[in-house]
Structure 1
Amino acid sequence: MANSIETLSAVDLRDPEIAAIIASKLREFHHLDMPGPKRVLMWDRLRNWLKTAKSVCPSDEAKEFRLDNLEKEINALESEFSGEDQCIGFCHNDLQYGNIMIDEETKALTIIDYEYASFNPIAFDISNHFCEMAADYHSEEPHILDYTKYPDLDERKRFVQTYLSSSGEEPDAEKIKDLMNNIEKYTLASHLVWGLWGIISEHVNDIDFDYMEYARQRLAQYWLKKPEILSCRVDDE
């Protein structure tokens, strides 16, 4: 009998049925009672990765990627976001389609590869998942991101509604709106995390992947979206 368990593909993330299963599974994941301090790790990770990126980058690269500006950006984001009434949970932090497996028969999902997992704001984990919808790592140019594939307002709202209601309680409109606003903010942190990851990976990995161009796109998206995101709310759209 053929094995019915497969890794998801890029297009699977856009399937409403699969997206709903991911939302419910992610809620379950975020409530895992894992050992260790239940505090936000992402800001320390960003600062550590920035330090590493500066140490491996020649000066022309450091200048292109504006690395000298990023510590100020990280501090500003932490200050901006820490005032929010945030829900902290055990986060995967890398929920791209290749890290989700599905049983084709039962539709049961399994999340794999916990290399980057830690406690973080759950809004960051969801925003990172949404950002991954711009990627197709099995295309002819796996490093190229297409942000027209970022989920639209309706898709994001469906995901958040399913995520919140999977606990058995129907969320009110305010709770949905607040989480959606926080998710959009944390896309900025996601761009910084994976932009720095790309810069470092270019200098330490031998894998055939254009890490530098990937980093370029993530950081360009950060600078492009920052003014809009920090001044916008879901109910303004």
Structure 2
Amino acid sequence: MAIKKNGLIPSSAPEELKNVLKAVASEWGDKIQDMEEFLVIPLKGAMTNEVFQINWPTIYDDLHQKVLVRIYGEGVELFFNRDDEIRTFECMSKHGQGPRLLGRFPDGRIEEFIHARTLSAADLRDPEISVLIAAKLREFHNLDMPGPKDVLLWKRLRTWLGHAKKFCSPKDVKDFCLNVLGDEINVLEKELAKDHQEIGFCHNDLQYGNIMMDEETRAITLIDYEYASYNPVAYDLANHFCELAANYHTETPHLLDYIIYPDMEERWRFICAYLRSSGNEPSDAEVEQLLIDAEKYTLANNLFWGLWGIISGHVNKIDFDYLEYARQRFQQYWLSKPLLLGS
């Protein structure tokens, strides 16, 4: 898919994309005669797909329409079923939770462009914005989505471990300790899968680039549901906390800084806001239990994204050092496991 450059859609772009763009424009009453009327703006920060803003002039010269074009990354079928993800996307739209699906073509889709700004890494540390994210996440977890409501985490980890082993050389298998991760996953499932834990529809990838905010209304929208599934809500909280150590808009986006991982006060505040948004004041015991559970689930989260990094490093051509990212996630797993589970 060749629409990477900032400017016009090149003639090499697939006819299916051009036709869907023209169809969307026509449906909105805009008559596009030439592909040169479509302007392309690459959006940075995506690590599974390539994402572009596409603009074109309306019948009124001073106005422009905007859509978002998502080009699917290579090898994504190893991570999730695209048809399932599309069904989730459409269901989320019906729930009023995200952008509308405007069109599909073999290598991607066209989405409604949300007139809100994507958050930055710094925004996640803003106490006021953090409270809004916590409340939105609670709302997300309470969604009643179609299909089985079984926890997907453990099955997905085992499947991804199998994929990672197939891609890696014997040296990499040894360096990444892949031969012992099956036992580690078993231990985590036994230690973490407790009866008291709440299961909800989880985003599973709540980094700042997947959170948008309307500057006027302060309404939060969560986007990109590729990894969404039913899981323990503590796991989703853990994922979000881990993402606070990342900034994907630096010269070294693959590097994580665990020095800035949220401290106890920050995590306590987020979980209080999360529980309080349901309308009841949580007890200290409730907050503490969910905080403990979430912290333990960072272990599963590090394995999840470590395996994702290995697989992505072998199948995805996006400019991102996936393997170094994987090394950091695994390193954090081995460092934190004795502290969280004991030896």
Looking at structure 2, the residues matched to 219 and 192 of structure 1 have their Cα atoms a distance apart, in angstroms, of 6
Query: Contact (CA 8 Å) 1:199, 1:215: kept in 2 or not?
Result: yes
1:57 is aligned to 168
1:7 is aligned to 118
1:205 aligns with 2:316: yes
Secondary structure of the 2:231 match is strand
Aligned residues: 232
Which structure is richer in relative contact order (CA contacts within 8 A, separation 6 or more)? 1
* Structure having the larger proportion of residues in helix: 1
- Cα-to-partner distance string for 1:40-80 (whole Å, 9 max, x where unaligned): 10000000000000011011111100000000000000011
Where do 1:124-135 residues align within 5 Å? 124-135=235-246
Query: Contact (CA 8 Å) 1:90, 1:117: kept in 2 or not?
Result: yes
Looking at structure 1, the residues matched to 325 and 193 of structure 2 have their Cα atoms a distance apart, in angstroms, of 28
1:164 is aligned to 275
Secondary structure of the 2:244 match is helix
Deviation, structure 1 residue 84: 4.5
Looking at structure 2, the residues matched to 36 and 229 of structure 1 have their Cα atoms a distance apart, in angstroms, of 33
Higher gyration radius (CA): 2
Secondary structure of the 1:141 match is coil
Looking at structure 2, the residues matched to 156 and 222 of structure 1 have their Cα atoms a distance apart, in angstroms, of 19
1:44 aligns with 2:155: yes
Looking at structure 2, the residues matched to 72 and 164 of structure 1 have their Cα atoms a distance apart, in angstroms, of 33
Q: 1:90 aligns with which of 195, 201, 224?
A: 201
1:189 aligns with 2:290: no
Secondary structure of the 2:262 match is coil
Partner amino acid for 1:80? E
Q: 2:329 aligns with which of 218, 222, 227?
A: 218
Query: Contact (CA 8 Å) 1:196, 1:215: kept in 2 or not?
Result: yes
2:259 is aligned to 148
Looking at structure 1, the residues matched to 193 and 279 of structure 2 have their Cα atoms a distance apart, in angstroms, of 28
1:230 aligns with 2:321: no
Deviation, structure 1 residue 120: 0.1
Looking at structure 2, the residues matched to 80 and 72 of structure 1 have their Cα atoms a distance apart, in angstroms, of 12
Gaps (5+ residues) in structure 2?
1-62, 65-113
Looking at structure 2, the residues matched to 82 and 156 of structure 1 have their Cα atoms a distance apart, in angstroms, of 21
Deviation, structure 1 residue 83: 2.8
1:17 is aligned to 128
Where do 1:94-133 residues align within 5 Å? 94-133=205-244
2:182 is aligned to 71
Looking at structure 1, the residues matched to 250 and 329 of structure 2 have their Cα atoms a distance apart, in angstroms, of 18
Gaps (5+ residues) in structure 1?
232-237
2:100 is aligned to none
Partner amino acid for 1:8? L
Deviation, structure 1 residue 230: 1.4
* Structure having the larger proportion of residues in strand: 2
Looking at structure 2, the residues matched to 186 and 132 of structure 1 have their Cα atoms a distance apart, in angstroms, of 13
